[in-house]
Amino acid sequence: MSYITRNANLLLLLLIIFSAAALVGATVYFQLNFDRINGAYTLKMEQLNKVSDELEAKQFELKKLGDDLSLKSQREEQLSGQYTEVRTEKESLETQKKKLTTEKEGLQSELEKTEQTLYKTQNDLAAKKALANQLETEKEALALENDILKDDKDQLEEEVRDLEDMVECLENTADDDENTC
């Protein structure tokens, strides 16, 4: 039995050595595999962190772009409103300009007519002043002539009275006394 015991011990020893070698081999294999997987995990974690950082940066940029877009949209609405106001005011001013231009042309035409009327009136006034001066001169001449004629009339009336007195005297007196009259 010793042979069996010896063989059994040897077999157990070989089994223990084989188990230990298998355990060491498995441990080395699994350690290498773990290191490889851990390295891959670390690499993936670094990549994941990098992608996460990039994602956060992109999200920040996207948020910033969204804010910029919102701000630009608000500005566009404001500018659109201002443009509409300016366009409406421009159209109103153009309408006013056309109206004022038409009114100006009408006023210029009226001014020209008024100037022509003024020119004619000034000419008429000058002619009437000349006529008035002429009539005034004629009036003065006629007044002078009238005064002269009045004086002549007075003289003639006095002569007529004198002659009537003489006729009466002559009629009342005899023929011999006629020289006394």
C-beta of residue 174 within 8 angstroms of C-beta of residue 167: no
DSSP string covering 81-112, please? HHHHHHHHHHHHHHHHHHHHHHHHHHHHHHHH
Give the pair of three-digit tokens for residue 149: 């004629």
Q: Is the pLDDT of residue 1 over 60?
A: no
Specify the residue for token string 């109206």. 99
- What one-character DSSP code corresponds to residue 147? H
pLDDT band at 172 (very low <50, low <70, confident <90, very high): confident
Tell me, letter by letter, the H, E, C secondary structure of 104-122. HHHHHHHHHHHHHHHHHHH
Structural domain harbouring 123 = 2-180
pTM: 0.41
d(CA 72, CA 74): 5
Give the pair of three-digit tokens for residue 167: 């006729």
Number of structural domains in the chain: 1
pLDDT tens digit sequence for 89-144: 999 999 999 999 999 999 999 999 999 999 999 999 999 999 999 999 999 999 99
Phi/psi class of residue 174: alpha, beta or left (left: φ > 0; alpha: ψ in -120 to 50)?
Answer: beta
d(CA 112, CA 108): 6
Instruction: Kindly give, in sequence order, each residue whose CB lies less than 8 Å from that of residue 178, ignoring residues fewer than 6 positions away.
Output: 170
Lowest mean pLDDT among 48-57, 92-101, 161-170: 161-170
Specify the residue for token string 């069996």. 4
